[in-house]
Amino acid sequence: EAGVAQSPRYKIIEKRQSVAFWCNPISGHATLYWYQQILGQGPKLLIQFQNNGVVDDSQLPKDRFSAERLKGVDSTLKIQPAKLEDSAVYLCASSHDKGYNEQFFGPGTRLTVL
């Protein structure tokens, strides 16, 4: 089966610009996660969707970050405006239930904010 797809793989922007990342989970997986991985740290959950509903967005900086999963399949994460500290790898993961089984990760999008 196809894995979790993410695009773009790399993105370089200037601070205060906006950027969007796309994720397509494994077919049939109801749960989708966005993680932020800053260099030298472990991934940190930004937002979790169950189908098209938000389960947890407690660590999403809502003044600049937004995410949607309108049809319960693919998802978009947006940052507007970007700050230097947003430089990180953004990982998307999916699982076929509420996450008590394995989460499958995509390759990530590496964002550099100059």
Partner 1 sequence: AQSVTQLGSHVSVSEGALVLLRCNYSSSVPPYLFWYVQYPNQGLQLLLKYTTGATLVKGINGFEAEFKKSETSFHLTKPSAHMSDAAEYFCAVRGARNQGGKLIFGQGTELSVKP
In the chain, what is the straight-line distance between the N-terminal and C-terminal CA atoms, in Å? 37
Q: Which of 40, 63, 70, 71 binds partner 1 (CB under 8 A)?
A: 40
Q: In the structure encoding, which two tokens stand for residue 69, read together? A: 């999963």
The dihedral region occupied by 45, where left means phi > 0, alpha psi between -120 and 50, and beta the remainder, is beta
Residue 36 in the binding site for partner 1 (CB under 8 A): no
Residue 53 in the binding site for partner 1 (CB under 8 A): no
Q: How many chain residues interact with partner 1 (CB under 8 A)?
A: 26
Residue 99 in the binding site for partner 1 (CB under 8 A): yes
List, in order, residues 6 or more apart from 110 with CB less than 8 Å away. Answer: 9, 10, 11, 88, 89
Give the footprint of partner 1 on this chain (CB under 8 A).
4, 31, 33, 40-45, 48, 50, 55-56, 91, 93, 95, 98-100, 102-103, 105-108, 110
